[in-house]
A = this chain, B = another copy of it.
Amino acid sequence: MISVLLVDDDALTLELHRTYVERVDGFRVVAECTGARAAVSAILERPPAEGIDLVLLDMTMPDGTGLDVLRHVRARAADVDVIAVTGVRDADVVRQMVGLGVAQYLVKPFSFAVFRDRLEQYRAYRERAREATGPATQSEIDAMLGALRPTASVALPKGLSPDTLDRVTGAVRGSGPLSAAEAASALGMSRVAARRYLEHLADTGQVVRSPRYGTPGRPETEYGWHP
């Protein structure tokens, strides 16, 4: 059983993630924190016997960032693994977190399927690390690290390509609310195709639809990012 510590400043998010974790076999939540300082103490002071294996760490908290937490923990040689779970997508933050050894970096919001995949992947890494208790060969080490390699995520509906979805997602994130036509011209694709992807994102809850009135003619629906 893998013991998990949840860290997030929002109680609602905490609860959601708890239910997520409990739906995955072999993982259990042993503690929760809403602040950076509390997280550091929880990780460092917990007796090793009932130690924490994995921390799901948010970035933004009132009394410090996830980066601060991780720096303290790493300095103390605490032997925990960390999955960053945050809405912060700044490339520099990602780089620093990777430098501090996060096993995965999950961008909120995400579906349960994505969450479960990441946890399963972490479990695979963990199993490999455990079974090779003695000296390992280079290729065993590679296999271990390779297990942490993010895999292509959930299967898309027919007619959608991962690459295009990625581009559309980026456009909506970058430019604020967009209509299908605007997204299409920004990406150099057709309005119909752009709309398909935006609809998919809306269906999976990653963007919100809202009608845009005022101009003559049928109202245009615009798609805005939903953090």
Question: Taking beta carbons and an 8 Å cutoff, which residues of A are in contact with B?
Answer: 67, 71-72, 74-75, 77, 79-82, 89-92, 94-96, 98-102, 104-107, 110, 129-130, 132-146, 148-154, 161-164, 166-167, 169-170, 173-174, 187-190, 193, 209-211, 213-214, 219, 221
CB-based nearest B residue for A105: B141
Contact sample, A vs B, 15 pairs, CB 8 Å cutoff: A74-B74, A79-B99, A89-B141, A98-B144, A100-B101, A101-B101, A142-B151, A142-B153, A145-B150, A146-B151, A146-B152, A161-B211, A164-B211, A187-B213, A193-B213
Known: A145-B149, A161-B211. A154 touches B135 (CB 8 A): no
Q: Give Cα A183–Cα B187 distance, bound, in whole angstroms.
A: 24
Q: Give Cα A161–Cα B139 distance, bound, in whole angstroms.
A: 13
* Distance between A127 CB and nearest chain B CB, rounded to angstroms: 12
* Distance between A140 CB and nearest chain B CB, rounded to angstroms: 7
- CB neighbours (8 Å) of A153 from chain B are 138-139, 142
- CB neighbours (8 Å) of A140 from chain B are 166, 170
CB-based nearest B residue for A214: B188
Q: Give Cα A35–Cα B148 distance, bound, in whole angstroms.
A: 30
- CB neighbours (8 Å) of A95 from chain B are 79, 129
Across the interface, do B98 and A137 meet the contact criterion of CB distance under 8 Å? no
* Distance between A124 CB and nearest chain B CB, rounded to angstroms: 11
- CB neighbours (8 Å) of A101 from chain B are 74, 98-102
* Distance between A47 CB and nearest chain B CB, rounded to angstroms: 20
CB-based nearest B residue for A218: B161
Q: Give Cα A138–Cα B130 distance, bound, in whole angstroms.
A: 29
Across the interface, do A89 and B136 meet the contact criterion of CB distance under 8 Å? yes
- CB neighbours (8 Å) of A170 from chain B are 137, 140
Known: A107-B141, A138-B110. A75 touches B79 (CB 8 A): no
Q: Give Cα A75–Cα B99 distance, bound, in whole angstroms.
A: 11
Q: Which single member of B79, B134, B136, B174 contacts A96 (CB below 8 Å)?
A: B79
Across the interface, do A162 and B141 meet the contact criterion of CB distance under 8 Å? no
